[in-house]
Structures are given as structure tokens and as C-alpha cells.
A = this chain, B = another copy of it.
């Protein structure tokens, strides 16, 4: 039986995670869950972000399901670097997977894009680049101050994530991978990415490839999001592009993500892209769809593709039946999703 670590987190985190667990239990009964109390609340109570002992315990699970962590009262960076990024790096979660679909029934912001037309997935590198934390500040608060950030890219790290992107594309209908970088300015890292991409592409004659600069991709995600199938890109570009992709498909309220260690040497982590939304916490108004879709990614990663597909289909039914403007109740959405998923 799969053993899942659950980090419900702060704000609306516990509410949406409860629905995700309800749906998981419906489609795949018997998952063993252990709760870990991490996030803003624990930080305030104990000063701890991610104690080593907890990290060790987390490592001993098949996957992690996370709701949302964070609160305006925590200094910026503390939970991001100390918890979320720490887990991505410690557990070598190098595939940061972010699918975006414009679901029928969801009013997207783009006038000329019809529901059903957008179905893309961004494979964002998760363990390198500007997220490595390399850099420093000298002569702070003097006119001579200088601050640096260094993007670190290895052939090892880039090739493995590009390989994952091609493998995913080969299983999809359109079989297309778009590499996004900024090779005309970031010539060093761009060269490594472009060469690793070309090498992996040569092993996949069945997959169509294209290259775009990140500024052009940001634009085309707004004007022609339909053109993308699989997008592979570095950590920071992926951070930005996935928020644009979420925006054009109805908002981060619906966006799921997986921080995946494909080899399974450490657990992968699944979480909605939205934050803890303290303003609506505890009111039962949060949309659990992103958390539920994240649970579907988790099922898929653990080899339960059928169960994952049932959850995804249930989300399709739910969204197609929503009446815009009618407030939703978190629990009721969870109940409906669980019911649809086993219907």
C-alpha cells in the first residue's frame, strides 16, 4: 500500500487537502497517510521550518501531498527556501511538472481561445539554474554595493529533464516539444541547453521540436496558447511561464503541480500552485480542484494511471457544470468529485 506524507499547511491548505484525500480514498482506497505539521503555524510556534528529523521521515514515503504553506506574517523567503525549495533540492525533484488545460466550462481571459483548445504541460527543471542560491552581496548599503546571482546548469541536470520532456511528449497525441530559453543573451547556459536538447531530440525522430526565446514564448502563451504541447525550460523561466499558462487557462486556482523525482530515489511532491489565501481561509470557499488535480498527478506518478484518469475526468464534469458567479463550497465540490470519480 502506498504511504503518503500529507503536509496540509496553512490557510486554505488543510481545507483543499481534505478534499484531495477524500477523492484519493474514493478512487484508490487504503492509502496510508501520515500528517506532518509544517508551514507558517509551526514556524511561529517553534521557530522550525523543516527539522532534519522530519526531512528524514518524509524521505521514507512514496509521495508527499502538500496543500499550501505561507502567511504574510512570515518573512519572505523563509518557507520558500527553507521548506519548498529545500524539499525539491534534497529529494532531487528535478521534473517540475505543470499541466495547463482550458477546461470546457471555465471562462478563460482570452477572447479568441475556446475551451478544450489548450492542453499543454510545462516540464520545468527543478534543481538547478538561478534557484541554486549561488550569489552574494558585498558593500551592503554603500554606493559600492554589488549583488550577484548565479545560474548553475549542468549537462547532467539539463539532459535528464529534457529526456523526461521528450518521453512525455512521445506519449501524447501531438508529440511536440518546445525548448524555451534565451540563447541569444544567455549564451553560455543557452548553449548547454540547446546542445543537450539537440542530442535528446536525435533519439526521438517521432517528436517534433521547436525553440523559442523566453520573451517570445511569454507572448505566444497569451496570443496562441493552443500551439504548445510539451514545453521544457529552466527553473526560473518555468516559474514565470507556468503562471502565464495558468492565467490563460482560468487562473492558478485550477493549476496543479508535481515536483517529481522520476527515478523514485526520493519521494515526489504534489501541490496546487495557489497559495494559502489567508483571506478566505476557514470559510469553506476555497476551490479544491487544483489540490485534487495534484492528487491525480500523484496517482499517475505512483503507477495508477487509471485512477488518475478517473479523477481528471471527474474534474472535467465538475467544471463543465459550474455556473459562473455562483459561489462554491469546498466540501461539496470534494463530495461531487469523489462521486464522479467512482461513477
Are B240 and A218 within 8 A (Cβ)?
yes
Q: Kindly state whether residue A25 has any CB partner on chain B within 8 Å.
A: no
Q: Which residues of B contact A191 (CB under 8 A)?
A: 137, 147
Are B137 and A146 within 8 A (Cβ)?
no
Task: Report the separation of the CA atoms of residues A246 and B219 in the bound assembly, to the nearest whole angstrom.
Answer: 8
Q: Kindly state whether residue A85 has any CB partner on chain B within 8 Å.
A: yes
Are A188 and B76 within 8 A (Cβ)?
no
Q: Kindly state whether residue A152 has any CB partner on chain B within 8 Å.
A: yes
Q: Kindly state whether residue A248 has any CB partner on chain B within 8 Å.
A: yes
Task: Report the separation of the CA atoms of residues A108 and B109 in the bound assembly, to the nearest whole angstrom.
Answer: 11
Task: Report the separation of the CA atoms of residues A80 and B186 in the bound assembly, to the nearest whole angstrom.
Answer: 11
Interface size on A, residues (CB 8 A): 65
CB distance from A5 to the nearest CB of B (A): 24
CB contacts under 8 Å to B, within A137-152, are: 137, 139, 141-152
Are A219 and B243 within 8 A (Cβ)?
yes
Most buried by B among A77, A147, A239: A147
State the number of copies, please. 2
Among B133, B184, B215, B247, which residue has its beta carbon within 8 angstroms of that of A81?
Answer: B184
Are B109 and A222 within 8 A (Cβ)?
yes
CB distance from A98 to the nearest CB of B (A): 11
CB distance from A210 to the nearest CB of B (A): 14
Are B240 and A183 within 8 A (Cβ)?
no
Are B149 and A150 within 8 A (Cβ)?
yes
CB contacts under 8 Å to B, within A183-213, are: 183-189, 191-192, 195
CB contacts under 8 Å to B, within A150-199, are: 150-156, 182-189, 191-192, 195
Q: Kindly state whether residue A277 has any CB partner on chain B within 8 Å.
A: no
CB distance from A256 to the nearest CB of B (A): 16
Name A's B-contacting residues (CB within 8 A): 76-77, 80-81, 85, 107-112, 130-131, 133, 135-137, 139, 141-156, 182-189, 191-192, 195, 214-216, 218-220, 222-223, 236, 239-244, 246-248, 251-252
Q: Which 10 A-B pairs have the closest CB atoms?
A: A145-B155, A147-B192, A222-B247, A135-B188, A215-B243, A111-B111, A149-B151, A219-B243, A219-B247, A80-B184
8 A–B contacts, CB within 8 A, in A order: A137-B192, A147-B188, A148-B152, A149-B151, A185-B236, A218-B244, A218-B247, A219-B247
